[in-house]
Structure 1
Amino acid sequence: MTTYSAMLLLGAYTGMLQVDARKPRSSRPALVGSVLVIAAAAVFIFSFDRTNWIAPFVFFGCLWLSSALYAAWGWTNRFPEAGMSFWAFFVRELYDNSFTAKQYATMLDDRERSEAQSAAAD
């Protein structure tokens, strides 16, 4: 039971770290933290119960769901111009986690170009 609890917690934390690692400003500390947590989960699994083959699936399932939930929450707050609900962001993150980031980058690029053109016109 403690193995599954640890895998749930480590998976959720790693999912949130992976979402933070995709942000340009905080990518390095979150990436290092994500690698360290995955290594700790592997050590935890093999140290206590080597025959527990379900624990890695629990870990990666929780990682996948928590990263999608955390990213959807972040995009809902950061990108309201998309006009998508939390659940629409969540479903999009489950199967294509780079789509929203590309749309956001395109919107920021268009905004910078229009500001540069308006500044050049003045």
Structure 2
Amino acid sequence: MSGTWVLDSEALSLYLRADKEVTALLAVAAKRDVRVLVSAVTIVEADPGGVHKARMAWALSRLVVEPVTKEIAAHAVTLLQDAGQLAGHKYAIDAMVAATALRQPGPVTVLTSDTEDLRTLCGKAITITKV
């Protein structure tokens, strides 16, 4: 396996809506045997209400869905505390995505629209790519 890609809510939302760029990226990931995953919390944030249930089921069947465990939540709290300037519910989901990414076998890339906050939370251990 050649690493892991973690989708944040915007990347997942684009995939659910068949965005050409994200769909192409995930096709490349499949060819390269890259593990692609989302945090379970990301599914809720990605605004699935506008997506047909069959499309949601199809998309999620192609991804690994990681649960939010007590350990991931605790790590997310630590990441927020360490970041200092990031606090509150606005950054809670980003912190859970970061904590999930940091637990994966490397190399790890997070696909996100929010590069600055994810870079702050993940540090240099994770590659952050804008979608």
Query: Which TM-score tier does this pair reach, normalised by the shorter chain?
Result: under 0.3
Select the structure that is richer in strand: 2
TM-score (norm: length of structure 1): 0.25
Structure with a larger share of its residues in helix = 1
The normalised TM-score by structure 2 is: 0.24
Larger RCO (CA within 8 A; separation ≥ 6)? 2
Larger radius of gyration between Structure 1 and Structure 2: 1
